[in-house]
Structure 1
């Protein structure tokens, strides 16, 4: 099959530039596509950063005291906030001096200085205007007004530039943070899945995986916005204080400046003492808002099930209770803020300006005129106006610094949340992640703070590093062998991952079996015995605490989950997942290939129902898109075998009415058939399936497994249907934790399943056996009851 592209087929996914090996993607923007360069992932950087985070936890954080159950005293608690900011700054926000954010930050500081300088000039001009106005100097007054309008041009530009750079820095910081966190969160180490098993002994560093969506979106945004706003909220008044104090020293003297600054310092200490713990209040409110948000999201995701069970009353009471807790906390916060706000406004808005008027009038009231000098009232007016404005500006700058304490507390709270997110991501991303089992230091990491290259083989063999510190005595010690021509498990315990390690809950003990390629395995067992857990171990979602797992290469195995997963996209996207349309064409597949597979599994009628493979329930299919919008979603135009194929971005950003999705449009059986279409499309040598036909009729079940048999696919099937036994060679029966039977399915047993009629006869025979066993059970009960009655009568006679 020949493929060519008008705009470069390979560019849509990613391509590398020769100079910096940058990856480039195309982003739709206002009817056109922008080229965005993305640096490739440097995993060495993340390993280096993990050591930094681990060292911080080792130096600054200690586990709970085993005797008192409380946190040990810390002498460095006040510096932890600045240390966290510094770590995030150096690792993510501005990793090197020549980063583009460095230039934006320097420009931002330059504009803040320019704004203060322009404010000083405008203040002097204001005094000059007042002087010329009081002296009835019309020409000079008009000249001053011309200067005023001229100053307005750079002043407006500087003010707008500061706002622009503040938002631009916040966006750049957020981009760096999101990219960094997602590179850790979504990669081959499956952090997004394993995060639910992480555990921290320190309560401040515990992260619920249920609120990870809020941490990655809203909390990162709040952190970046708060940090960049702090530059303007603290930088501008700080610069104002320095510049205005230097200028005022010549007018009111050094003593006056020192008196003003002393007033600021004393009242600032008073405000600091009276200030509530805004950090604690804000952090707790953020956590409670996350709980409230996630529970409402749960109502949206499970609205149909709640309706079937008529659970709306229970859910309403629970929502009210969650919201009441949030509202009660907000009431407490409002009350604490009220008393502080009253005191703060009195000091900052009235006391400081009053002192400003006093110090501005001192030079005029107590200055002794020189001999022969006649005081000029207009000059005194100018001096008073300039001094008053500068002192009031200093008071305003000081008050904004005091107000920024709340901003710092807010930033401190969100910094704690973001840093907790980074700590947990690095803990799980660690190649030695132990699923919650921490080291002896209790800092949440799996290994002690030592570089592995400095650890001797004897120490690793003994399971200890350093001075007798046990690390993996009850941790992960199993062996995984890849590229094995089959599937083998030897003496493997199936354990639910937890901080207890091998002492956690055991589902199965000493699981052992071995099948070669071409030999199908069927796994039977009651619910909760551990069938799905076996698949999780094979796919390396769960740890292998001990034993040997030999399996094919990960590229040769296709896993089918018990719960079907569908994405936002077209019908084609559901079948070729996780590939996209471009990748499908690159692999040599066409729409005709997909339609053929759909016909094989009995889903050909979906094309009549939805019109084509391009149908997308998340798009507005009732109205045709306008030309501009359609062009904006056009990714590429590809020529396949001489035929032009237009490739569109099928992710429209969500459903129009919020109700249409593939999960709701397809029945349970249809969803499972779509999954079988995926299996045929990807055509992997090994397929592991968990309850793949629970919603499919028996006749279609047979045809689907016949297709898989013709494909020479090796099957590992978890099911409760005995009828599938005829398609498998070996049976793994899970009775309980210690009773596991691995047997070969012989011809004597399979003869009952040669046809549907023979299978019915077999099942009828099993029912007759069951009835006979029940009859025998009743007989034994009657005999036992008679025996007990006889013994009771004999005892009664003897007692008489």
Structure 2
């Protein structure tokens, strides 16, 4: 590229054609090199990450039309919706704006005529009085256009965001999107930034297309009246040819926009990981390593943006020369024909051709018509370039809704390493509706009947798990890490798909999970106890602040209400409360809900043994049957049954001997007799 440009500009006077050819060649070479780098990067991501299958081409194509067909009904749900009304108002404002442009073109010609003819009276009447009256409607229309576009963008964003929230937070779809389906790497960015940019671009796109179309028709009609119908025809034909050339040589900015958004999401994710795992990173002294990670991720954005703005620079020069300056030369020719061609002037201007003031008025008016027509056609053609960038946002938002729709229907897709040579990743789509496992709802009992414990990656932890726990049969679960304890609870809570067998359990509101690290919600201190209920729902259940303080007294946290400023105090509770206080708040929440079964996953690891015993005894008094994962021997006396895994595909479910509290966590020892036992050779 450098050699070509150098050779051309060594000439004393390089021609316009030579410069345009050089620019086309430069754009072509830069585009090819950029695409080669993208392809290399994509191949690395495919080998080193669990990436998707072949991505569909991002651009203004049949796929883009199909995506818009799905998204537009969300943005404009009906003929009588607020958005449809805003679109109608915007169309009216655009027509008014075009009418004012036509008026101003004629007005400008009249002012020029008054100046050339030195007619002071006509000048004052036009430039002062008439313009003074018209400046108010012009100002109102111009600002109404901005106001309507902003209102339309906000309405589109509101519709899309609420629709996405309805799908994303429907049941446990949010969990499945993050843990079962890995097509969306940055759901938070898609739900916030990408939807916002899509809505903003969509609102501007409507006006960017509608106004040029209206301008083309009206200004072509007025120009045809003034200097002949062939003038607007020639101008439009020139811009159409320019558009074809731009379409052929412009880089795929839509695809680059989609890549840009993905890289931004990856960069944001690296920082969110540091915030989430700040304590662990600090303990390991991993600041330098994390700095390398975030810098490398950011460098990908820098490299991508540098290449894109280089392409935009070269493409912008070509756009300006072809659409702006060459179009100006064509306009000069069309405007000069009535003056320099006597036959043309006689045909279109009659006897007025010799009046200099009339010629000046006509030239000023016609040039305004032609400029507005040229600008309208040019904007319409260049909107095609903006449309390709808009296609990038459309692709991202459409993918979000596609994944949310699939997951809500029980279909999820994961990219996993295959066994083929080279470790190339492949995507596997799972349809949970086609699985053989069955879930039955029955109060007072939990039964696993020949249920395989299988991870979403299809790793088999247990081939066949069978046990039965009825109300009052408190069960302790033990085993090494990765043996299937947490996987069992995820299947029980419908977080993971059921690949086979039959699970019988109570309805979801009669099961309650208390993790080792409790979740503390945004809100008041009262909200921490009654979550996920609202205060009105708590009162409807008979829980006033007096009853809630009794729950806190049970877990020895009665002092917290006064210490933190009352029930309505709002703070960052994850930072305010200590580890033991958080776990006891979670147990108070359990007592508030009073489920049939409670799954306690190391939930008292930061609590003293004496308070732990008080809480477990209170749970038994409330009639809550306990499923406890723990390695504390102090908890054995609070349970009657043991479900034990060895991490090698074996499990044992048996009744415990109350006198044997020394070896309950070892496999294959103790005086108790197994109720059921199964071994699998994986």
Within 5 Å, give how 1:430-449 maps onto structure 2: 430=409, 432-433=410-411
Aligned to 1:573: 527
Query: TM-score normalized by structure 2?
Result: 0.83
The residue number in structure 2 matching 1:531 is 485
Q: 1:610 to 1:78 in 2, by over 3 A?
A: closer
In structure 2, which of residues 541, 546, 562 is the aligned counterpart of residue 592 of structure 1?
Answer: 546
The aligned residue for residue 96 of structure 2 is 114
Query: What are the ranges of 5 or more consecutive residues in structure 2 without an aligned counterpart?
Result: 1-45, 47-51, 417-425, 671-682
- CA change 1:484–1:260 in 2 (3 A) is same
Q: Secondary structure at the match of 2:105?
A: helix
Is it true that 1:376 corresponds to 2:359 in the alignment?
A: no
Report how far residue 348 of structure 1 moved: 2.9
Aligned with residue 255 of structure 1, among 230, 248, 262: 230
Q: 2:213 aligned with 1:238, yes or no?
A: yes
Q: Which residue of 1 aligns with 2:24?
A: none
State the secondary structure of the residue aligned to 2:411: coil
Distance 1:443 1:697, change over 3 A: closer
Conserved? CA contact 2:444–2:596, under 8 Å: no
1:140 matches 2:122 = yes
Give the CA deviation at 1:310. 1.1
How far apart, CA to CA, are the structure 1 residues paired with 2:179 and 2:276?
23
Structure 1 residues 562, 374: CA separation in 2 closer, same or farther (over 3 Å shift)? closer
Q: Is the 8 A contact 1:687 1:715 kept in 2?
A: yes
TM-score (norm 1): 0.71
Matched, 1:86 2:66: no
SS, match of residue 229 in structure 2: helix
Provide the C-alpha distance between the structure 1 equivalents of 2:460 and 2:71, rounded to a whole number of angstroms.
40
Deviation at 1:743, TM superposition (A): 0.5
2:441 matched to 1:482?
Answer: yes
Match of 1:349 in 2: 324
Q: Does 2:150 align with 1:167?
A: yes
Kindly indicate whether the alpha-carbon contact (under 8 Å) linking 1:427 and 1:446 is maintained by their aligned counterparts in 2. Answer: no
1:127 to 103, 109, 123: 109
Over 3 Å counting, the alpha-carbon distance change for 1:136 and 1:434 in structure 2 is closer
Match in the other structure for 2:256: 281
Aligned to 1:497: 456
Against the structure 1 CA distance between its residues 614 and 196, is the aligned structure 2 distance closer, same or farther, given a 3 Å change threshold?
Answer: closer
Over 3 Å counting, the alpha-carbon distance change for 1:482 and 1:248 in structure 2 is: same
Q: Which of 78, 82, 86 is residue 100 of structure 1 equivalent to?
A: 82
The one of 518, 541, 557 equivalent to 2:472 is 518
The aligned residue for residue 541 of structure 1 is 495
Q: Which runs of 5+ in 1 are unaligned?
A: 1-63, 200-205, 448-470, 499-503, 618-660, 753-761, 771-800
Determine the structure 2 residue equivalent to 1:468.
Answer: none
3-state SS of 1:256 partner: helix
Is this contact kept in 1: 2:474–2:626, CA < 8 A?
Answer: yes
In structure 2, the residue matched to 1:318 is 293
Conservation of the 8 A alpha-carbon contact between 2:413 and 2:428 = no
In structure 2, distance between residues paired with 1:197 and 1:404:
39
Distance 1:165-1:183 versus aligned 2 partners, 3 A rule: same
Given candidates 273, 280, 296, the residue that maps to 1:305 is 280
Asked if 1:185 is matched to 2:168, the reply is yes
CA-to-aligned-CA distance 1:124-181 (integer Å, 9 cap, x gap) = 0110111122112222222112221222222222111211111111111111111211
Asked whether the equivalents of residues 551 and 592 of structure 2 are also in contact (C-alpha less than 8 Å), the reply is yes
1:708 correspondence with 2:662: no
RMSD: 2.7
- Structure 1 counterpart of 2:382: 403
Q: Give the length in aligned residue pairs.
A: 601
Preserved CA contact (<8 Å) 1:364 1:384: no
CA distance in structure 2 between the partners assigned to 1:691 and 1:488 by the alignment = 22
- Residue 686 of structure 1 pairs with residue 597 of structure 2: yes
CA pair 443-685 structure 1, distance change in 2 beyond 3 A: closer
Which string of whole-angstrom CA distances, capped at 9 and with x for unpartnered residues, describes residues 296-350 of structure 1?
Answer: 1222232232222211111111111111111111111121112111111222332
SS of the residue aligned with 2:186? helix
User: Partner of 2:202 in structure 1?
Assistant: 227
Contact 1:197 1:435 in 2 (8 A): no
Contact residue 339 and residue 353 of structure 2 kept, 8 A: no
Equivalent pair of 2:474/2:638 in contact (CA under 8 Å): yes
Are 1:736 and 2:641 matched, yes or no? no
Number of the residue aligned with 1:394: 373
